[in-house]
Structure 1
Amino acid sequence: MTGSTLDLSTAAADFTAILGHWEAERPDAPAVTFAGTTRTWAEFARRVRQNAAAQRAAGLRPGDRVAVLDLNHPSCVEMTLACAQVGTANAVVNFRLAPPEIVYVVNDSQARILFVGPEFAAAVAQVRDKLPAIEQIVHVGGDADEYEAWIGAHEPDHDVHPSAPGDCFVQLYTSGTTGFPKGAMLTHAGMLAHATNVMADFDVDADSRVQVAMPLFHVGGTSYVLLAIASGAHSFMMRMPDPAAALEMLERERITHTFYVPALMAAMLQVPGVADRDFSSVKALSYGASPMPLPVMRGCLKLFPDVMHQVYGMTEQCGVVSSLGPEDHTDPAVEHRLISAGTPIHGVEIEIRDPATGDPVATGEPGEIWVRSAQVMGGYWGKPEATAAAITEDGWLRSGDGGHMDADGYVYVTDRIKDMIISGGENIYPAEIERVLAEHPSVADVAVIGVPDERWGEVPKAVVVAAPGAGIDEAALLAWCREHLAAFKCPKSVDVLDELPRNPTGKILKKDLRKPYWEGKERQVV
């Protein structure tokens, strides 16, 4: 290894100390490359401390939030690390959200400053009057960039807020069954535990070259870049996960570690000349967050032999909790494991529990997947009841996913306890879509389900009952959704029924609605 190994359990209590370690150990080594610009660890650390100084000059204090609405950009990572130093937290907003959803997340976070990329400046200007807590908007990148001047006006601030392990420094929003997103408070302890555990299982170190392709609002983006920082690796950030550009970067930069969602990998297989490229530098290609169609998996196994890791994780656990390694992808004797989520990674416990009683179920029996590790979030921002419902007193996180575990300890994620739909790596809760459709005057009753899709794994479908005297115009309903929801959440089709199936207590039987679409298919969520 070019630089010394950092023992995260003893050498550092937070990410500020980690950044300082690599700045001292490898000041002239490359830390982050983006859009043709590479900054060393010394340069990167200086910018983080300038950001910290700018936050304090703006009056931000420990516990305050800032928000970032942008495509991937190093400024967001600088912001997160500066928040770790100041005691603030970076609420990274999903840039795929519709304007009303952006308003909700920014207001819920109580952010005082909003950092906006050029692609979203117009949308923010339209809703500016609906963001009362925002004291300042700083434009990042493009012709109207203000971020460089915002940090450049200050000398680096070396004062470090004495963070506790449970302090939140990055807040990622995950959709909720109430129809509104929840802010998962990710802590120093949780992110450090995730980095430690993944480094142990995926051989990430200071010589690694890590591609950050996933959006930073997603745990697969933010936790992945923080993993690289914790290990002292060189990060290569992409602004957007473009398949051709990602493949070109893999080859040109001799990337060793990366993470993709299956929809991106499916698109990669269609890139002209992909089979002729040299990807021999790759040591670990992780994929997950949505189902991987077996034809796509087989094509990718030819393209990336002996390096693929299927991973299962969640925002509330700072990222990955289980992995199916390369050996299980290629051994014909265990081909059935290709639809599993693998075994728990280092430092993680997984059990299958009865969702009603919380009692462990027998091996092979279905139940809810419970996870316990030091990676667990600090809770949901401003939602103590939701936090108490998700995390037990003895530290188990109720994932909301249904599944079973075989006798060899492999986890199979087979359904969603909470009806969540995973489409192209994005978590979609039907309640969000149902809330919008229920407001349309032609709809009397509605249920949203996930149905199979060859490209995205599954997509939302709306099943509606018409209001008395009204007719259902499918195009009008879909247009209504596009006005109020992010595009990836919008139903792709609408079915009309005379009534929705319900049990004796009145609960809609979504399993009955889903059944005809999933018959003959091995449903899985990874």
Structure 2
Amino acid sequence: METATPTLNALLAGHARRTPERPFIHHRDGTLDYRRTLTLVERLAGALHALGLGPGARLGIALGRRPEGVLAFLAATRIGALPVALNPALEPRLLLGFARAQRLAALLAEGETLAALAAGELPVGMALIDRAGRHPGCLSWPELLGATPLTSPPEPESGQVAYLNFTTGTTGRAKGALATHANLYWNTRAAIETFALGPDDVHLCMFAAFAHPHELFCRALQTGGALVLLEEISPRAIAGTIRAFGVTCMMGLAPMYRMMAGACARADLASLRLAESGGMYTSPEINAAFAARGGVPIMSVWGSTETSGVALANTAEGYRLDGSMGRVCPHYQARVVDEQGRELPPGEVGELQLRGPGLVSGYDGGIALAGHQGWYRSGDLVRRDGDGFYYYVERISGMIKVAGLKVYPLQLELLLGAHPGVREAAVLGRPDRRKGAVPVAFVVPEPGAELDAARLRAHCRAQGLPNYMVPRRFELVDDLPRIGSGKIDKRPLRALVERGSLTDG
């Protein structure tokens, strides 16, 4: 395998030279072709360079799915600076705290977030950039785009860090993974080969702009295709965008597909050929409902910050609608091991480990990946069937041991979700003096459903659940907390359990 791979910047320059007028970025504000994109990136690179940003400097980007975010990302990598994508919905004090901790040289923001940041005590030396160019005292994005283009800075190398890709932090403090140009190339290459992507594809990624931000544009950039950036998350807006731009490939989360299945019965989704769902379990019910509306099944995929994105995937040529994560993608290797690191046969539950050129080398601050001999320890418990399909079981840290017997929360969550009166459930362990731990369940009822602990307990037993696996406590809640990417955040629920705020019932 060749070690030298194209950088993001080389890919953009190549398309701008070969197909300059081909559309690259579609947005409600207009379309940028490859030539115009390169011109704007070079001007912005010149402006950032004039501000003193260079190799290793950090540029914060606190925007939604907007063209400016993509342009800023590419301009920063052009001069060796590191883009850092931030959640614009964070409280300004948290954003400022993050800016100080990450030593940001500049931060691009807009709207109320920008106003609150400007009113706070900014880190010394940090420049604040206003996307709209309206806030006094901030650098104006439109003016930065009028800077002298920087057309010949030192070319970044493929092994150079392209950006800090932050983990979701669901099990602890978020860490900045060191994603190189080569990592992004091989991860994107794996997706291209897995899904037979090409230059005629139009990509719509509905992941949060701060969660794996390269997913917004890397597939289009590597194939010479086009991407669409959509800020709204309403089902009708998504369906209208697919129709208007001829979207062929879409990435999203299970709740988005569920909403679309319910609200887009008459939508024209004829151009769509690939619908990916990552980040969480996608039930067969959601899949069937969306396939009936959209005409294509949902391809469940699995990836992580450390793998630079999708590493396991279902494909149109062979997929499962039973919650499978899929098979291992090209350029990755995967295995399932026990606690001693011994590889397990199909059907056995163990830790998922991966390796390949898409794996990041470590985290910011000199923190190494958890692993051995090139194998990354994902911390996910999975099983693999005889055909090579992987199935998620639970995080190792989430497994509950009841009197020495293993209980996997996802199994209970799916069983509870099968009750017609349950919209969603989250299960975790509570310390118990006699048994070590017992499961407790937080349940979101369907509107109008008559639910109580007795009905839910009876449902569990009717499904043949052993007594030790039946949750000791059922807590009915209006909603479940989530992190910005849309995944359920069990940390606030765990805090309730650890504080002893729940009693048996």
TM-score by length of 1: 0.74
Does structure 1 residue 22 correspond to structure 2 residue 15? Answer: yes
What corresponds to 1:406 in structure 2?
Answer: 385
CA deviations over 1:421-466 (Å, ceiling 9, x no partner): 999xxxxxx99xx9xxxxxxxxxxxx998856589xxxxxxxxxxx
What corresponds to 2:128 in structure 1?
Answer: 137
Once residues 499 and 493 of structure 1 are traced to their aligned partners in structure 2, the CA distance between those partners, rounded to angstroms, is 10
Q: Equivalences for 1:366-385 in 2 at 5 Å? A: 366-384=349-367
What corresponds to 2:260 in structure 1?
Answer: 268
Once residues 166 and 450 of structure 1 are traced to their aligned partners in structure 2, the CA distance between those partners, rounded to angstroms, is 45
What corresponds to 1:80 in structure 2?
Answer: 73
SS at match of 2:6: coil
CA deviations over 1:486-518 (Å, ceiling 9, x no partner): 9975747986689699xxxxxxxxxxx9xx99x
Name the CA shift for 1:358/1:100 in 2 (closer, same or farther; >3 Å).
farther
Could you list the runs of 5+ residues in structure 2 that have no partner in the other structure? 400-408, 414-426, 431-437, 447-474
CA deviations over 1:363-390 (Å, ceiling 9, x no partner): 2111111111211123211142xx24x2
Which segment is superposed worse, 262-271 or 142-151?
Answer: 142-151
AA at the equivalent of 1:29: R
Once residues 259 and 337 of structure 2 are traced to their aligned partners in structure 1, the CA distance between those partners, rounded to angstroms, is 37
What corresponds to 2:52 in structure 1?
Answer: 59
Could you list the runs of 5+ residues in structure 1 that have no partner in the other structure? 1-7, 330-334, 424-429, 435-446, 456-473, 502-512, 518-526
Q: Is the 8 A contact 2:232 2:238 kept in 1?
A: no
Which of 244, 255, 262 pairs up with 1:252?
Answer: 244
Percent identity, aligned pairs only, is 22
Does structure 1 residue 97 correspond to structure 2 residue 90? Answer: yes
Which segment is superposed worse, 95-104 or 373-382?
Answer: 95-104
SS at match of 1:338: coil
Q: Is the 8 A contact 2:205 2:215 kept in 1?
A: no
What corresponds to 1:241 in structure 2?
Answer: 233
Once residues 109 and 487 of structure 2 are traced to their aligned partners in structure 1, the CA distance between those partners, rounded to angstroms, is 20
Which of 340, 343, 359 pairs up with 2:327?
Answer: 343
What corresponds to 2:404 in structure 1?
Answer: none
Which segment is superposed worse, 206-215 or 260-269?
Answer: 206-215
Q: Is the 8 A contact 1:205 1:231 kept in 2?
A: yes
CA RMSD of superposed structures (Å): 3.7
Once residues 368 and 119 of structure 1 are traced to their aligned partners in structure 2, the CA distance between those partners, rounded to angstroms, is 43
Deviation at 1:83, TM superposition (A): 1.9
Q: Equivalences for 1:182-331 in 2 at 5 Å? A: 182-219=175-212, 221-271=213-263, 274-328=264-318
Question: RCO higher in 1 or 2 (8 Å CA, sep ≥ 6)?
Answer: 1
Which of 118, 121, 144 pairs up with 2:114?
Answer: 121
Once residues 109 and 233 of structure 1 are traced to their aligned partners in structure 2, the CA distance between those partners, rounded to angstroms, is 34
Q: Normalized per residue, which structure has more helix?
A: 1
What corresponds to 1:464 in structure 2?
Answer: none
Deviation at 1:53, TM superposition (A): 0.5
SS at match of 2:78: helix
CA deviations over 1:115-173 (Å, ceiling 9, x no partner): 112141244245x32x5255210111374495433423412111232323222222122
Once residues 154 and 449 of structure 1 are traced to their aligned partners in structure 2, the CA distance between those partners, rounded to angstroms, is 58
Once residues 323 and 171 of structure 2 are traced to their aligned partners in structure 1, the CA distance between those partners, rounded to angstroms, is 30
Q: Is the 8 A contact 1:308 1:326 kept in 2?
A: no
Once residues 16 and 246 of structure 2 are traced to their aligned partners in structure 1, the CA distance between those partners, rounded to angstroms, is 23
SS at match of 1:216: coil
Which of 136, 161, 165 pairs up with 1:168?
Answer: 161
Q: Is the 8 A contact 2:99 2:123 kept in 1?
A: no
AA at the equivalent of 2:389: Y
What corresponds to 2:141 in structure 1?
Answer: 148
SS at match of 1:362: coil
Deviation at 1:19, TM superposition (A): 0.5
AA at the equivalent of 1:81: L
Once residues 23 and 279 of structure 2 are traced to their aligned partners in structure 1, the CA distance between those partners, rounded to angstroms, is 30
Which segment is superposed worse, 407-416 or 202-211?
Answer: 202-211
AA at the equivalent of 1:72: R
Once residues 268 and 336 of structure 2 are traced to their aligned partners in structure 1, the CA distance between those partners, rounded to angstroms, is 41
Q: Equivalences for 1:417-496 in 2 at 5 Å? A: 417-419=396-398, 451=442, 489=489, 491=492
Name the CA shift for 1:100/1:143 in 2 (closer, same or farther; >3 Å).
closer
What corresponds to 1:504 in structure 2?
Answer: none
Q: Is the 8 A contact 1:112 1:133 kept in 2?
A: no
Deviation at 1:230, TM superposition (A): 1.3
SS at match of 2:398: coil
Once residues 111 and 23 of structure 1 are traced to their aligned partners in structure 2, the CA distance between those partners, rounded to angstroms, is 30
AA at the equivalent of 1:164: E
